[in-house]
Amino acid sequence: MRPFRLLSVLSLLAAIGAAAHAGTPAFLKFSGAIGVDPLTAAGGVDVSNVVRGISPGGRAWVIRKFSATVGADGSISARGKGLLFSSGDVIATRGTVAAVAVTLFCGAADATARRFTSPGGALDAAGSFSIRGMLSEDGINTAVLPATCDNPQLLVRAFNTTTQAAGGWFAAGIVGSDDDD
């Protein structure tokens, strides 16, 4: 085979492979997020703002910008900016939180929903993070997502890089896509 023809065939195969990999359909999209208020009123009494069985991250948090896409194959891509404390002596900092993960919930709007958690991503001093990887239900194997995700909720959570475990939640993603990005 002539060098030009070989180069053409190799280029075509590389383009087909890249297109197939980039073509993973979006399962869910999230645009924007709401920072946690650790307390919520229940019957006139302040109680811990537990969402789907996950406790809040201690103090109030804000998030300036957030977007995430969950692929039908269980892939996740999430980016956030300005995830910072909004109260106390640590206001406008990330405090000692060095990493975050995201958890997708599908099912009943309570603690019985299935949960799928991402790998961790570093949280810089300005509260910016980027997460790319595969969701997992057990922390080891890639998740097999359900055909549909009833009552979807995506929480941004503390991530312990030593134990590889997600902790309290800091922000909740807003379902939908924002074409104004």
Q: Could you tell me the CATH number of the domain that includes residue 38?
A: 2.60.40
Q: Give the range of the structural domain holding residue 109, as residue numbers without chain letter.
A: 24-175
Q: Is residue 140 part of a domain?
A: yes
User: Which of 92, 163, 90, 89 lies closest to 126, judged by CA?
Assistant: 92
Mean pLDDT of 34-51: 89
Q: Is residue 152 part of a domain?
A: yes
CB environment 29-47: b (16+ within 10 A), e (fewer): bbbbbebbebeeeeeeeee
Mean pLDDT of 54-79: 96
Count the domains in the chain.
Answer: 1
Give the pLDDT score at 2: 54
Give the pLDDT score at 41: 80
Contact 63, 82 (CB under 8 A): yes
Here the tokens at position 74 are 């269980």
pLDDT above 50: residue 17: no
Mean pLDDT of 156-163: 95
Give the angle 66-160-113 at the CA atoms, nearest 5°: 65
Mean pLDDT of 43-68: 93
Please measure the distance between the N-terminal and C-terminal CA atoms of the chain and give it in whole angstroms: 47
* Range in 39-43, 49-53, 175-179 the model is least confident about: 175-179
User: Which of 150, 37, 46 lies closest to 86, judged by CA?
Assistant: 37
Contact 38, 59 (CB under 8 A): yes
More confidently predicted of 13 and 74: 74
Residue 134's beta-bridge partner residues?
A: 75
pLDDT above 80: residue 23: no
Q: Is residue 90 part of a domain?
A: yes
Mean pLDDT of 140-156: 95
Q: Is residue 2 part of a domain?
A: no
Mean pLDDT estimate for the chain: 87
Q: Is residue 78 part of a domain?
A: yes
Q: Is residue 14 part of a domain?
A: no
Give the pLDDT score at 178: 63
Q: Is residue 3 part of a domain?
A: no
pLDDT above 80: residue 122: yes
Strand ranges inside 49-164, DSSP E: 61-62, 65-71, 75-81, 84-85, 99-106, 114-117, 121-122, 129-134, 153-160
Q: pLDDT class for 13, splitting at 50, 70, 90?
A: very low
Q: Is residue 151 part of a domain?
A: yes
Compute the half-sphere exposure of residue 71: CA atoms within 13 Å on the CB side of its CA.
Answer: 18
